[in-house]
Amino acid sequence: MKRFNPFKGSSVSSKKLLWLGAVAGLLGGIQAASADTLPPLPKYIADQGKLRVGVKCDYPPAGFLGSDGKPTGVEIDMARHIAQIAFGSPDKVDLQCVTSENRIPTLMAKKVDLLLATLGIFPARQKVIDFTVPYFWGSSTFLVAKDSPYHTNAEVLDKKIIALKGGSQITWLTQNAPKAELIRMNTNSDALQSLRQGRGEAYTGDVASLINLLPSNPDLRMLPLKEQYDVQWGGGGIRKGEQEWKAYLDVILQDMKSQHFYGPVVDKYVKEPVVRDLMVATYETDPPQK
């Protein structure tokens, strides 16, 4: 299988210049582009006077709590951008922290009207909710102790594996690694603590999230990127039957991608050049071939 290289032919310095040059006109440019083609904002959304969004709060750089204790991250910036277009202000947004386990129930209970929460698109979820157009692709891998003897998926797939409740990794492992003993945790922090305590041999999660944990967790390492598995598209989650809302969001998300919204945003949260390039690739390129 041909391996995907998100860095091939790229120059970090030239990318950075491109991103910085786009920042000044980014908000106005995307808003203007959307204004020509945007369907009407659904009345029930407009009547609320704000955008209600479920976001991750322990999953950097997609969503996490900043030093002020408030949600921040790539998907939070996305939510604020949509609020700017819908209501004229990035502050007209109600950000509610959700986990992998409770994000869909939170949406179905009408506590939020949109999920921007690292939500992979796959059949089991499509039976319950609808999705916007995809805005990122993701894949999964394993985090292990730095002195662990494991270097390939095959070496861990029959071991005790830590995973987040409600995460797509559990579905994949259940189908593809029947000998694995799954240890389900609620949050990233709980999973890391369990790994250090030796409750599991590996912690599995999204590559984009795990790779960002490495600088602050030098006692851990990630399996090689060639070992990534379960490559899939991800998008925003909405309730079934809300076609006007989907049409509205789809136009905005498509414009955000075409106008390179994500480069400058990722640059705010990810400083390591290789990690930053990988992150931008997940938003602005097609996924690797399976």
Backbone angles phi, psi at 61, to 5 degrees: -90, 5
Structural domains in the chain (count): 2
Mean pLDDT across the chain: 88
Q: Which residue has the higher pLDDT, 34 or 147?
A: 147
Statement to judge: residues 161 and 81 lie in one domain = no
**How much is the pTM?**
0.79
The shares of helix, strand and coil residues in the chain, as percent rounded to the nearest 5, are 40, 25, 35
**pLDDT over 70, % of the chain:** 87
**Cβ proximity of 88 and 51 under 8 Å:** no
Among 206, 230, 254, residue at a domain's last position: 230
Bridge partners (DSSP) listed for residue 59: 63
Q: CA-to-CA distance for 78 and 51, rounded, in angstroms?
A: 12
pLDDT digits over 177-228, tens only?
999 999 999 999 999 999 999 999 999 999 988 998 898 999 999 999 899 9
Statement to judge: residues 24 and 162 lie in one domain = no
Statement to judge: residues 19 and 162 lie in one domain = no
Give the pLDDT score at 10. Answer: 35
Whether 22 has a pLDDT exceeding 70, the answer reads no
Q: Which residue has the higher pLDDT, 26 or 239?
A: 239
Rg of the chain (C-alpha set): 19
By DSSP bridging, strand 51-56 and strand 130-145 are unpaired
Q: CA-to-CA distance for 180 and 193, rounded, in angstroms?
A: 20
By DSSP bridging, strand 220-222 and strand 114-116 are unpaired
The confidence band for 134, taking pLDDT boundaries of 50, 70 and 90, is very high
Query: If you average pLDDT over residues 7-26, what whole number do you get?
Result: 37
Tokens of 204: 């599995």
Statement to judge: residues 117 and 37 lie in one domain = yes
Query: If you average pLDDT over residues 234-261, what whole number do you get?
Result: 98
